[in-house]
Amino acid sequence: MIDYVALDVKAPFTEEEYGKAIGVSAERWLPAVRESVAILKSADIESEFRTTCVPGLHTPDAMERLARDIAPCDRYFLQKFKPNNTLDPAYEQVREPKPQQMEALLEIAQRYIPAAQLR
């Protein structure tokens, strides 16, 4: 039996943005992501959604759309991107977000998900 599920939500639910975040076309994967979110929100199991915030991918506008896409939910965590051990070497050149950038994204997420937190 499962007692807790954590689901990474990479980007707003558009094929272009989700595809950019996962590095492949999102056409095949995005419906499954939407369905997984819906299942977890309606299931009688503790769960969380989380997003690793990458500068350039997670702008204030993108965070607003992403939070709207998964709201309402009980647990949502924003995690700071760290540019080490990345699958795509280009991301090793991306700097991790500054604390004030993370706070700004959190403030936006909390408009739709009041319990959102930084991790």
| Domain 4-118, architecture per CATH | Alpha-Beta Barrel (3.20)
Identify which of 59, 48, 77 has the alpha carbon closest to the alpha carbon of residue 21. 59
The pLDDT tens digits along the chain (119 residues) read: 889 999 999 999 999 999 999 999 999 999 999 999 999 999 999 999 999 999 999 999 999 999 999 999 999 999 999 998 888 888 888 999 999 999 999 999 999 999 999 99
**C-alpha 54: how far from chain center:** 10
H-run or E-run covering 19: helix 15-22
Q: What is the pLDDT of residue 87?
A: 82
